[in-house]
Amino acid sequence: MALRDYNITGKLSIEDNGVFSLTMEGRTEPPDEVPPEQPPPEGTVVIEPSGGDDTQLLRDAVAAIPENGTLMLKGMFRVSDTIKLEGGRYRTVCGSPDVRSGILVESADMPGMYGAMLWLRNATGSILRDLEIDAQGHSTTPIEVDGGQDNALERLYIHDIGFSGGDDGTLAAIHSESGTRLHVIGNRIERTGGNRDKDEGIRGIWLGKGQVDPLVEDNYITDTGHTCCAVEPCSGIIRNNRAYNSLTQGSLYKIIRHPQAAYAARVEFYGNYGENARHAGLMLEAADFESVEVYGNIFKNCGEQGTTFGFLYTSQWTTRNAHIHDNTVENCRSFGAMNRSDSCKIENNMITGENTLWLESDDTNITVTNSGRVSVGSNCSNIWVDGQQVG
């Protein structure tokens, strides 16, 4: 799937070793201009805040959205309880382009799933777009998507989620259970709470329980109390995201195969940027897929002093068929550490700083080429490094 189409001229050469190279001479035409903001669709209902508690106002307005209808919020609405978008098809809730628009969380006591603020449940083709959700330090899950298909979360700005302990149900700024073809695109998430002493915190994005073909793209996530972006797909794409400062627990990114996943096909993780993680840059947890392609990513300053955390970490049950190549790793505590991994290929990664890959335990059929040095731990077999078998 192409992100952009370019018209590029250049010289294509074939080197003696068979490698193709393209010397680019630039575009033959200027880049397209950003299209102007489009007016809302005809029939859009626009509502404004009352100045008081707008919970019931929003509930009534959301319930009245027809199929293919749009509700636009103009201004910041004070809300103290869950707003549920139940079922329905092709409904949109968006913010006005003219003023700051969205929700001010007035209470942390949200009875919806996982303390949800906006709860999109069993919907089809519905969209939340261009909304700001200011949690104002309260501990609540701003966005919950429960099941459904072909839904989208686009250009949301979610920030300042408080952390009040592990029993309040708050899991992430954006959380989802199950679902098919959920698109999470262009969102900005800042300052989710955590408690370093208890090693607990709130994630940025967490798509859980066997998502089918999600697309997680162009999101900016920073200063989280737990993993910036965690995805539990059956198959899917995570690309061109930026994650900074996983401060309390977890990694910058995590890919998991959930035990309830119906199948495990191809996952692609590429073009992502990560910087400053207490733990790993990318964690593969029980990532037993037909293939996991990790390439073209940049990671900096990952891993805490005294640990083997670095760019990569594999853990829990078996991770299989990971192909990790052509990534840039700068000044991480290590290249990474692997446990219980099988049939993985690691090649042509550019590493500055400490470049050790620690095969800590129970790794089999691992091939490492042009990707630093390797330390082989216990119960590892068929390990190949730069063409030599070392374990």
Rounded to two decimals, what is the model's pTM?
A: 0.88
How do 273-277 and 242-246 pair as beta strands? parallel
Domains of the chain: 45-389 (2.160.20.10)
Mean pLDDT of 216-241: 96
CA atoms of 231 and 213, how far apart (whole Å): 11
pLDDT tens sequence across 322-377 = 999 999 999 999 999 999 999 999 999 999 999 999 999 999 999 999 999 999 99
| DSSP H stretches of helix in 3-114 | 55-63
For residue 53, give the 3-state DSSP assignment: strand
pLDDT band at 98 (very low <50, low <70, confident <90, very high): very high
Which residue from 226, 151, 146, 160 is spatially nearest to 188, judged by alpha carbons?
160
Which residues does residue 23 pair with via DSSP β-bridges, in sequence order? 11
pLDDT at position 38? 66
pLDDT tens sequence across 45-62 = 999 999 999 999 999 999
pLDDT at position 15? 55
Q: Is the pLDDT of residue 4 over 80?
A: no
For residue 115, give the 3-state DSSP assignment: helix
How many C-beta atoms surround the C-beta of residue 29 within 10 A?
7
| DSSP H stretches of helix in the chain | 55-63
Q: Which residue has the higher pLDDT, 212 or 13?
A: 212
| Residue type for position 28 | T
pLDDT band at 9 (very low <50, low <70, confident <90, very high): very low
CA distances from 36 to 104, 218, 298 (A): 28, 20, 32
Q: Which residue has the higher pLDDT, 378 or 261?
A: 378
Mean pLDDT of 9-25: 49
pLDDT at position 329? 97
CA distances from 224 to 114, 188, 246, 250, 325 (A): 18, 12, 5, 9, 27
- H or E stretch including 175? strand 172-177
